[in-house]
Structure 1
């Protein structure tokens, strides 16, 4: 049987390993890019897997004053599409990291 001191040291090392893996995962998520689209590609939003918007592309055909509301709706839809893809990419990356942790079903890492 291990001494209490050995068990505490092992637990601390395990916590440090998990913390390092979490930091590495955060770095990877910032490097993964996703693209949300709306209006058949007329509006595109590029974002990181962490959800930071990198850029927005709006087709010139939408830049008509009378189409302002449609353009705004398409930008929102493209952003939401990008956000959903970012969440999916984030979950996949975190799944790789947490695969060996045997976490309970539905448990989410703090991101």
Structure 2
């Protein structure tokens, strides 16, 4: 289509590649809403599930840890599980962005925006 246009053809190819990348990143952003990770604390007594964007979707607490005198411990475990889920969400998002960069032929260490 752009044969014989020299640099103009290269520019058109670059623009198409950039548009394709933008479309793929938009798609990935939507997919990350459905990807989930689960963080745990207290050897699995408290579990927090988040999407790959870090939004906590659910919390599961083993009933064996409920007692009035353990309130602070339970609160700490909940925070730890949520923090763990958010860390895993960031790792998952970075992993997915690296896959996208590789598919687009970009350097593996290139940081893509969210």
Q: CA deviation at 1:4?
A: 4.9
* TM-score (normalizing by structure 1): 0.85
Compare the two structures and name the one with the higher helix fraction: 1
User: Gapped runs of 5+ residues in structure 2?
Assistant: none
Partner SS, residue 53 of structure 2: coil
2:58 alignment counterpart: 55
* TM-score (normalizing by structure 2): 0.83
- Aligned pair count reads 110
User: Gapped runs of 5+ residues in structure 1?
Assistant: none
Q: Which moved more, 1:62-71 or 1:49-58?
A: 62-71
1:35 equivalent in alignment to 2:38:
yes
Structure 2 counterpart of 1:103, from 68, 89, 107 = 107
Partner SS, residue 34 of structure 1: strand
Q: CA deviation at 1:61?
A: 2.2
